[in-house]
Amino acid sequence: MTDFKCPECGYVFSEDAGDEHEGYPPGTSFQSLPDDYVCPDCSVRYKEDFEQI
Ligand SMILES: [Zn+2]
């Protein structure tokens, strides 16, 4: 699976790990995140801004 990084703060969303603190279980695909998903760390970058790493 793939990781995606916020270009603003460096937060990484890992599809393997998900983000249980935000309500996304392990195995959550980045594509399945809501369109209004924002970076949980900096809150200024949207899903479309994240970079695949
Ligand atoms: Zn961020």
**Per-residue 3-state assignment (H helix, E strand, C coil) for 2-48:** CEEECCCCCCEEECCCCEHHHCECCCCCHHHCCCCCECCCCCCCEHH
What's residue 40's pLDDT?
96
Q: How confident is the model at residue 1 (pLDDT cuts 50, 70, 90)?
A: confident
* 45 CA distance to ligand 1 middle (Å): 6
pLDDT bin (cut points 50, 70, 90) of residue 24 is very high
Q: Is the pLDDT of residue 32 over 90?
A: yes
Spell out which residues have Cβ within 5 A of ligand 1, the ion: 6, 8-9, 11, 39, 41-42, 45
**pLDDT given at position 48:** 96
State pTM to two decimals. 0.91
Percent of the chain whose predicted confidence (pLDDT) is above 90: 98
Between CA 26 and CA 15 the distance in angstroms is 7
